[in-house]
Structure 1
Amino acid sequence: MRGGSFPNRGPSGGQGSCRQRMGSTCAPEASGMASFRMPEESEGHAATWMVFRASKGIWGADLAPYVEKDLGQIARAIAKYEPVRILVSPKDRPRLSRLVDGVGNIEVFEAEVDDLWVRDTGPVFTVNEAGELRAVKFNFNGWGNKQAHSLDKRVAETIADLAGVELVTSSLVLEGGGLEVDGEGTAIITESCVLNRNRNPGVTRDSAESELKALLGLHKIIWLPGIAGKDITDGHTDFYARFAKPGVVVAGIDSDPASFDKAVMESHLALLQEATDAKGRALEVVTLPVPSKVRRKSEDFAAGYVNFYVANGAVLVPQFGDPAADAHALRTLQMLFPGRVVEQLNIDNVAEGGGGIHCVTQQQPKAIPAP
């Protein structure tokens, strides 16, 4: 997510029972997709999906085992609060077993995968008022064909099939880390990702909005500029701004004048402070400063607290070894998520690859009919 060069996010490279493609023969109104919405992350989960894969070819022989330990730590932490479902290549399963054996609430499925970034490779789940689930595939292309993706481009199909839900395939190319929603019709999305010609050449903001609104039940999209070419994701939303609940946004800020993110985050903050959501509410914006001190110094290291993950009854957030910033992030998230346990984890090894806890998780919402 951060870094002056592209981090080792993996050479990535299906569809379930629906296999419909937006923009072709299946219009959203005709298929009933307009009644589906993407829930906000703090709504109830049926499970969290993860992918266990850190190959030496991607991460390096020295780092890969420690990345796997971070994944095991994250899985064990989430399993205290909700079921965890993990995809793993058969050859990697023995190492995963050593990390999670004896831990309840974890289910393992074998599937060939390239890397661990399930937020980007997996489907986005939506739900309708009847409590039916659908999974949306956004055609992962290796963050704009920066890396191979022959296996990871099929992760969405695999998860949809295992979850037993219909899969709808978008005509857009993007990743789940580029989407942030409040569950009530508002989304925050970075232009640098979705409108980037390395993903969607020739696609206008209006046409992207039309499809995203139909697929995800949106009424308003707040577009942030993001920044292209500085990290492999081209500026995913989930590093910059997240909903804590409808009407409340957590935004990262960076005071380091040498950081390219300083100006980006300042522009995002100004836009969010002036924005209203789909219901006409002015957004309350709470800031989370990035740490000024970290244990690692590589340019690819993703140092930021906005990439937290909200599970049932808990919030998981990194800690980076900056006592003041770590403590501030903990207090802020405890204030924003009352009634949930906030756990801080040292995930420096995953952060070396440019991502965080949110990037290696994907929530499957509960299928609950609306009252």
Structure 2
Amino acid sequence: MPRRTFLSVVPAGISAALLPACSAEGERSSTSADSGNRGSLSTPNSTGEGFTPNTDPPAIHQFFMPAEEAEHERTWMCWPSNEDIWGDGLEEVQNNIAEIARAIAAFEPVTMLVRPEEMEAVADLLGEEIELLEAPVDDLWARDTLPAFLITAPGDPQPGMAAGRVRFNGWGGKQTHDGDATLAELLATHLDIPLHDWGLVGEGGGFEVDGAGTVLAAESSWVNDNRNPGKTRDEIEAGLLSLLGADRMIWVDGLAGHDITDGHIDTLARFASETTIVVDAPAFPEEDNVWVDLAARTKELIEAAVTSDGEPYEVIEITQPGEPRGTSDGFLASYMNYYVCNGAVIAPEFGDEAADAAARELLAELFPDREVVQINIDGLAAGGGGIHCATQQQPKLRGE
């Protein structure tokens, strides 16, 4: 089962000279009257000076992360522009990101974070249906670099939102993403919401939530010295539960050292509901390789887990395409990395008609009130990622 390949470490930070000035500490940026659907994030210099986020830990359960299928206010994405990372594949992956944004925008608002020097070109490509916001973006992985948006728990007399940050270090130092490492803070300031931080290093693709108190994660991408040296699984679990407003954890083993993410959960197992978990299944389970073994072990652990009511989960397999168009090393030929938005499930198609149709039918059964929209994402998949990796939902506040 291929995953995102290792890429060379490149200095992807942005010089402070390239960034728009911030006129006051913590000041929110805004879209000017003549700028249409464009704006910019207030940006600290490259050392982070001049930015004072609220990193005081919140009271446990004061905020929580809703399930992805809860109603969204909008989707956030990041525009890829780094030729050192993508090389000749940059144009194709840009077209994939544009297509994903357009598909989501048919159902809910989309805001794209874009480097300042790319704004004009991206505006011409995306048109007015996608809002653009200047930001020191290094790459497209919004799931990993943007905050987890949290809302106040049901019954709170003052509905509110917070940004939950896990500190991004380039998937355990495998790449340098100085700009991306600041995005959670910048977005919290732009939206004028508190930033919650429990000191964990990791990525948003490393956890799944059901919105009802359970978190799902792979040990390989958290209990790992390249992210959280010296921390035990219990310590990391306590931090994740507190950050996400949850009270119970399901761990799978994952697999470290075979892809850049060290085995993100959003390609292995995902909640479809509070009682249903979808797991990845290889197209050729008889093959002898680490990815087949990983899928079998993940399914075994999920089948052994129980819901908050003590009942077994319904475990649904979604089988990979047997004959995808993409054949490069690291091509993520998996349907697991779908994205649930208002009224739709945005999912990949790989040119294997039978497998594509089976995935579409399964997702339609899992999310019966949503339209399943399949997109060719071969450029993105060649980089080891998928639609979920490139998106981050902002939930709608209760009562709005």
| TM-score, normalization by structure 2 | 0.85
Read off the aligned partner of 2:392 and give its amino acid letter: Q
Judged with a 3 Å threshold, the aligned counterparts in structure 2 of structure 1 residues 334 and 300 are, in CA distance, closer, same or farther, namely same
Choose which of 44, 49, 52 in structure 1 pairs with 2:79: 52
Q: Which residue of 1 aligns with 2:31?
A: none
Measure the CA separation in 1 of the matches of 2:72 and 2:200.
Answer: 26
Q: Which residue of 1 aligns with 2:67?
A: 40
Read off the aligned partner of 1:91 and give its amino acid letter: E
Q: Which residue of 2 aligns with 1:23?
A: none
Judged with a 3 Å threshold, the aligned counterparts in structure 2 of structure 1 residues 280 and 11 are, in CA distance, closer, same or farther, namely farther
Measure the CA separation in 2 of the matches of 1:120 and 1:156.
Answer: 10
Query: Structure 1 residue 91: deviation in Å?
Result: 1.5
> Which structure would you say has the larger Rg?
2
Read off the aligned partner of 1:137 and give its amino acid letter: R
1:147-296 map, 5 Å: 147-254=175-282, 255-256=284-285, 257-296=287-326
Q: Which residue of 1 aligns with 2:39?
A: none
Q: Which residue of 1 aligns with 2:145?
A: 121
Measure the CA separation in 2 of the matches of 1:50 and 1:93.
Answer: 14
Read off the aligned partner of 1:331 and give its amino acid letter: E
Query: Structure 1 residue 58: deviation in Å?
Result: 1.0
Is the contact made by 1:2 and 1:300 (CA closer than 8 Å) also made in structure 2?
Answer: yes
Measure the CA separation in 2 of the matches of 1:345 and 1:311.
Answer: 15
Q: Which residue of 1 aligns with 2:160?
A: 132
1:340-355 map, 5 Å: 340-355=370-385
Query: Structure 1 residue 163: deviation in Å?
Result: 2.5
Measure the CA separation in 1 of the matches of 2:374 and 2:290.
Answer: 26
Read off the aligned partner of 2:54 and give its amino acid letter: R
Relative contact order higher in (CA < 8 Å, ≥ 6 apart) = 1
1:291-310 map, 5 Å: 291-310=321-340
Deviations 1:116-165 (A, max 9, x none): 10100110111113331111111100000001111110011122222332
Judged with a 3 Å threshold, the aligned counterparts in structure 2 of structure 1 residues 7 and 286 are, in CA distance, closer, same or farther, namely farther
Measure the CA separation in 2 of the matches of 1:329 and 1:285.
Answer: 15
Judged with a 3 Å threshold, the aligned counterparts in structure 2 of structure 1 residues 59 and 250 are, in CA distance, closer, same or farther, namely same
Structure 1, 68-77 or 10-19: larger mean CA deviation: 10-19
Is the contact made by 1:177 and 1:237 (CA closer than 8 Å) also made in structure 2?
Answer: yes
Read off the aligned partner of 1:192 and give its amino acid letter: S
Measure the CA separation in 2 of the matches of 1:165 and 1:39.
Answer: 17
Is the contact made by 1:49 and 1:84 (CA closer than 8 Å) also made in structure 2?
Answer: yes
Query: Structure 1 residue 282: deviation in Å?
Result: 1.6
Is the contact made by 1:291 and 1:322 (CA closer than 8 Å) also made in structure 2?
Answer: yes
Q: Which segments of 5 or more consecutive residues in structure 2 lack a partner in the other structure?
A: 14-43
Query: Structure 1 residue 8: deviation in Å?
Result: 7.3
Read off the aligned partner of 1:112 and give its amino acid letter: P
Read off the aligned partner of 2:116 and give its amino acid letter: P
Is the contact made by 1:128 and 1:369 (CA closer than 8 Å) also made in structure 2?
Answer: no
Judged with a 3 Å threshold, the aligned counterparts in structure 2 of structure 1 residues 6 and 195 are, in CA distance, closer, same or farther, namely same
Is the contact made by 1:138 and 1:169 (CA closer than 8 Å) also made in structure 2?
Answer: yes
Read off the aligned partner of 1:73 and give its amino acid letter: E
Deviations 1:15-35 (A, max 9, x none): 987521xxxxx4x5xx42432
1:14-163 map, 5 Å: 18-20=53-55, 26=56, 28=57, 31-60=58-87, 62-102=88-128, 104=129, 106-129=130-153, 130=156, 131-163=159-191
Measure the CA separation in 1 of the matches of 2:365 and 2:257.
Answer: 35
Deviations 1:276-325 (A, max 9, x none): 12332321111001111111111111110010000000000100111111
Is the contact made by 2:206 and 2:217 (CA closer than 8 Å) also made in structure 1?
Answer: yes
The number of aligned residues is 359
Query: Structure 1 residue 168: deviation in Å?
Result: 1.3
Q: Which residue of 1 aligns with 2:28?
A: none
Query: Structure 1 residue 9: deviation in Å?
Result: 9.9
Q: Which segments of 5 or more consecutive residues in structure 1 lack a partner in the other structure?
A: 21-25
Query: Structure 1 residue 36: deviation in Å?
Result: 1.3
Is the contact made by 2:4 and 2:331 (CA closer than 8 Å) also made in structure 1?
Answer: no
Q: Which residue of 1 aligns with 2:35?
A: none
Root-mean-square deviation over aligned CA pairs = 2.0
Query: Structure 1 residue 5: deviation in Å?
Result: 4.1
Judged with a 3 Å threshold, the aligned counterparts in structure 2 of structure 1 residues 359 and 12 are, in CA distance, closer, same or farther, namely farther
Measure the CA separation in 2 of the matches of 1:74 and 1:342.
Answer: 13
Is the contact made by 1:10 and 1:114 (CA closer than 8 Å) also made in structure 2?
Answer: no
Read off the aligned partner of 2:78 and give its amino acid letter: V
Read off the aligned partner of 1:55 and give its amino acid letter: N
Measure the CA separation in 1 of the matches of 2:252 and 2:232.
Answer: 15
Measure the CA separation in 1 of the matches of 2:9 and 2:316.
Answer: 29
| TM-score, normalization by structure 1 | 0.92
Identity %: 43
